[in-house]
Every structure is written in structure tokens, then in C-alpha cells.
Chains A and B, each alone.
Chain A
Amino acid sequence: MKILVCISNVPDTTTKIKFQEGNTSIDTTGIQWVINPWDELSLTRALELKDDASTGIKSVTVAHVGPAASEPVIRKSLAIGADDAVRVNLAAQDAYSVAAQLAEVVRKEGFDIILCGIESSDFNGSAVGGMLAEFLDIPSVSSVSGLKFENGAPVLTREIDGGRESVVVPVPFVAVVQKGISKEPRIASMRGIMTARTKPVRICEPVASDSLTEISGFEKPVPRASCKYVDADDPARLIELLQNEAKVI
């Protein structure tokens, strides 16, 4: 069985976001790029499953759609433990075009389990995983917070409103993964970093694909009114303000 983990590179989650060119693009000066947090958790889970010989997982591959500049996150994934990687040489335009490119990678190479993070922390689109499954016309399970094997077959845990359910689908499928899939992201070891240098990264030229959306501008959130302090000895005053001023209780 082969697992594909789709990865996106995003600004480090503590970055103070700034925009340039009339607020139409992000100012990348000084930004540290990291693997999208949900993708990193997916990768960790894929490697944990591969470590367990009873699952019969032979390989964990990462795929990324992006230009050569995003190679560092691919090397990082290899250092964490992925066996190999595919990079589609295209600056990502929108979820639809990224999913179309990833679908081509899956068609060419064939995978049984495809893991996608539920969103990327930059555009928060929550779209690529479901789109990829539809392009391939295979099942998808969304909001997945657990993946294990029982009697050699994958069993997924899916979050539902107010609970969770166990779901079984035949391979190949796309699992759209959220928090809970693995506890903490795996960290690259020194040996992992050394071996990552020699692991194969296949570079594919993009197939023709459309983009259906584009960003015409950004704005920063409006700063909130400054904080009104209430004396710690008189919390009743806070309740009064919430009732009569904010009118929320």
C-alpha cells in the first residue's frame, strides 16, 4: 500500500502578516516558510503507520505544487521521514488548479491513501482535498481525526457535529485531515536531515489546468476598540457592562 501526503508551504504561524503592492500580495520579507500544520500532522501519521509493519504500507510520498523556491519544505518532509517527493513546477493559483495538478500526480503514480490537510493556514480554503477526490472520482472522508488499520484495512475516525464516527471506505480514497490525526508533528533527526539530501524528488511540469478564483486584494482586520478594564474586586461590574453596554447576555 502506498500513501501520498499533499503538502503546502505557508508562513510560520507566528508571522506578522504584511502586504505590499497596494495590498494585493503578501510581503515575503523575513517570512519563514513551514509545512502547513495539518499536512505536517498527516505526514507524521503516515510515517507512524508505515513504521508498523502490520499495516503493509510500503512507501510514503509527499506531493507539492509550487516553484523551486518551495523546495525547502519538501526537503524538510523528506528529513522527517518521507521516502520520496513529487513537485509540480507551478506557482499555485487556486485550489481548483492545485487539485487538478495533484490529480494528475495520482493518476500517473497510483496511491492507495491520499492525505490532505483540512485547510492551509494562509488561504483557509478547505477545498483541495475534496476537489482532488472529485477529479479522481474516488471517495473522500472529511474532518478526519484518526486513521488506523484493522485486519489490514484502513479505518477512519471522522468528526461529526457533537461527536465522531468510525468510517470504512475502500482504497483508493482521500482523507481530509484535521487535528487529532497524530499527537505532535514528528521532528527531523540529524540522520533524517542527512539522508533527505539523497532522497529522490521528481519534478513534473504542470498539465493544462484552469484557475477559477483569484485574489484581488487583502485587508487587515479592523483593530478592536481598546480594552475597558474592570476592577478584579468588582466582577459584577463586568456582568453589568456585558448586559447593558455590549448587550450580549
Chain B
Amino acid sequence: MSVLVYTENWDGKFKKLSYELVSYGTSVAAMLGTEVIALTIGKATDDELARLGNYGAGRIICLTGDQLSVPDSRVHAKVIADLALKEGCNVVIFSNNIAGKALAPRVSVRLKAGIGSGVSRLPLSLDPFTVYKRAYSGNAFAHVVIKSEIRILTLAQNSFDAVEKPTGALPETVTIDIDGSMIKTSVTETQKQGGKILLTDADIVVSGGRGMKSPDNWAPLVELASILNGATACSRPVSDEGWRPHEEHTGQTGKIIAPNLYIAVGISGATQHLAGVSSSKYIVAINTDKDAPIFEAAQYGIVGDAMKVLPKLVEAVKNLKK
């Protein structure tokens, strides 16, 4: 009996969400009176792997092998499920991110393990095993009972703080040999944006809506995001109009984010938009329309013209940093 936490590594590095996942796993393991095994796939240095031990991982396993470098979810799900069985894990935890969404459902079928997806709290009870998750796109939360012996949880991003709890665990690197014919995926081209803070990783997000009036008005918004070390986002009409790239679209059908601070500029706050941002810790609304629904979701608001307010905010943050 143990808790398995899967975290991907990004070119051999972990990030905040990896430590949040391990911390979450550590807390679940404490409830169950068992230990946490942190798992990653692909090459990472021992020093980097050992960092997972700072957050309570009792064991750290890194699976490597030439065939595992291809991101084939069928193959990766198999090696994760095999390890979970070998180590007798009864809870397997993923992030509810791109990788977690690709892998968790496949592992679920392999282990006949029910999934609680997008959980944002520790389990509400162990018997029956009940988790708390987002439902109706943020308009509700559901209590989900997982009836199977093995349970899979995917953790909503930014919903659980990383807590230091060093174990001094030494990484174990295991080379896995896979039948090459199992790999069916081939990646023919990769495009990556360099250097920018990813929207889903950002602690602070500054987002613009149609109230920004023109794609030419974005400079002060981008500047505010930049001096706050945040990311930029936008509402659906803005990405549909092509004013901003569609990767920036936050909302029900776009990205679901949960930063510490979400600054909504010229966004009225339709249900579909709020569905993507309602888990933010703080929401600030800046809008000319005092009756805009965004003010009902916000803790702080300014009724005013974004083009006048944004430069002053930039100024104020600069003064703060002096």
C-alpha cells in the first residue's frame, strides 16, 4: 500500500506544480498511514530528482529508456500502471494538466481504478473514499465516491501549496525496455514559445476583453503583466477576433486557470468566462460598466476606462519596486 505521484519533468527539470503534487500526495499518504513514491519518466539528474524528496517523497523513481523519449500516451500509461501494480500502490496521483489528462484515463482502465479528476482538496473521507472536484464548469463542486480498490486523482493546478518536508530519499533510476512496436506516435514538428511565463503556471495573470476596444491598445496591459512577472490572457471574443492568439483564451472552452491574482480588464464576466477563472484566489475587475457581472466575482474593482487606469497601475507598481 502506497501513494504514487506522477510528475512529468520538462527537459529534466521540475517546476512548482511537481512539488505541489508531491506535497498533495504526502498529505494523502499521511491520511492513509502510508508512504509516497514520486515517479517521473525521462532523463533527469540525481540532484534534480532529489528535490522531490524535499516535499515528502519517501522514494523517488525515474524511469528511462530510449523508447520512453517518444511521448506516446499508450506506452507511458503502461509503464506507470505496471509500476503502480509492482509497488502495490492504491492511490495514483497526476496533475490535471495536459500530460495528466492524456495519461490518467488510460491508467484508469489498465488498473480498473476510478478517477476523481480536477480535485482541489484532500479527500473528504477515506471510507467511502470521497473526493471534492469542480463540476458544471465551476458553477458547482461535486463529492465523488471512488468505489474501486485503486483510486486515481488528478489535482487541479494551483489548488494545493507545496510544503517542505525533507526525507533525504535517494533517487532510483530504472531503465525500462519496451517492445518498440508498441510505439505508434511520431512527432514530426515541434513549435515552442521561448522565455515567456506559461499562462497555466503564472501566479499573476492580466487579461483583456472586448472593452480594450482595439488590438492596438494592448501595450499597457502587456507591460503591467510583465512588471508583475505575470502572464497575459484574454476573453473569447478577443481571441475569436484574432486580436490575441488563441492560446491566451481563458474561459470554459479555453484555458482553465487558478492564479493567485487575476486582473480582468474590459471583461464583462459572462458565465463562460468565469468558468475558466473562478478558482483564482483574487480577482480584480476594471471595467467602465459598473453593472458588469465581473464585479460580482471580483474582490477589488475599479469602475473606469482601462486606457486611463492601466498606465497608472503600471506607474504604481514601478514605484513599489523602487
Contacts and interface: CB of A to CB of B under 8 A. Distances in A.
A160 B261 contact: no
Nearest to B251: A179
Nearest to B112: A212
Contacts of A99: 105, 109
Given A19-B140, A124-B118, A166 B187 contact: yes
A165 B316 CA distance: 40
A138 B313 CA distance: 52
Interface in A161-207: 161-170, 173, 176, 178-180, 183-184
A131 B109 contact: yes
Contacts of B249: 179
B74 A218 contact: no
B302 A229 contact: yes
B116 interface: yes
Nearest to A225: B299
Interface residue SS majority, chain B: mixed
Interface in B61-107: 72-74, 77, 96-98, 101-106
B46 interface: no
Interface string B288-316: 00000001111111111100110011011
A14 interface: yes
Given A17-B140, A168-B186, A230 B302 contact: yes
A238 B138 contact: no
A161 B98 contact: yes
A155 B320 contact: no
Interface string B119-155: 0000000001010011111111111111110000010
B105 A131 contact: yes
B204 interface: yes
Nearest to B191: A163
B28 interface: no
B191 A165 contact: yes
B147 A212 contact: yes
Contact of B113 (A26, A142, A164, A212): A212
Contacts of B303: 229, 232
A213 B185 contact: no
A130 B190 contact: no
A179 B254 contact: yes
A122 B284 CA distance: 27
A129 B105 contact: yes
Contacts of B130: 216
Contacts of B47: none
B134 to A, nearest CB: 6
Interface centre among B74, B145, B261, B275 (most CB of A within 10 A): B74
Contacts of B114: 94, 96, 212-213
Contacts of B109: 96, 99, 131, 134-135
A164 B73 CA distance: 16
A53 interface: no
Contacts of B113: 212
Contacts of B136: 11, 17, 26, 121-122, 124
Contacts of A213: 114-116, 144-147
Nearest to B189: A166
B278 interface: yes
A126 B101 contact: yes
B190 A160 contact: yes
Given A131-B106, A230-B302, A235 B184 contact: no
A161 B198 contact: yes
A214 B148 CA distance: 11
A176 B177 CA distance: 28
Contact of A235 (B77, B146, B228, B312): B312
Contact of A164 (B186, B191, B254, B261): B191
B226 interface: no
B176 to A, nearest CB: 19
Contacts of B188: 155, 165-168
B143 A140 contact: no
B305 A249 contact: no
B206 to A, nearest CB: 11
B305 A218 contact: no
A54 B226 CA distance: 46
A210 B147 CA distance: 10
A243 interface: yes
B228 A140 contact: no
Interface of B: 10, 72-74, 77, 96-98, 101-106, 108-110, 112-118, 128, 130, 133-148, 154, 184-193, 196, 198, 200, 203-204, 228, 240, 246-247, 249, 252-254, 260-261, 270-272, 275, 278, 281-285, 295-305, 308-309, 312-313, 315-317, 319-320
19 contacts: A19-B140, A124-B137, A126-B101, A127-B104, A134-B105, A139-B72, A139-B185, A176-B102, A215-B143, A217-B142, A218-B142, A224-B283, A224-B298, A231-B302, A235-B302, A235-B312, A235-B316, A238-B302, A249-B204
Top 7 A-B residue pairs of the complex, sorted by shortest distance between their CB atoms: A232-B304, A130-B105, A212-B114, A163-B192, A142-B102, A134-B109, A236-B316
Given A13-B137, A124-B118, A160-B192, 10 more contacts: A13-B271, A14-B271, A122-B135, A127-B108, A129-B105, A130-B106, A142-B73, A179-B249, A227-B296, A242-B284
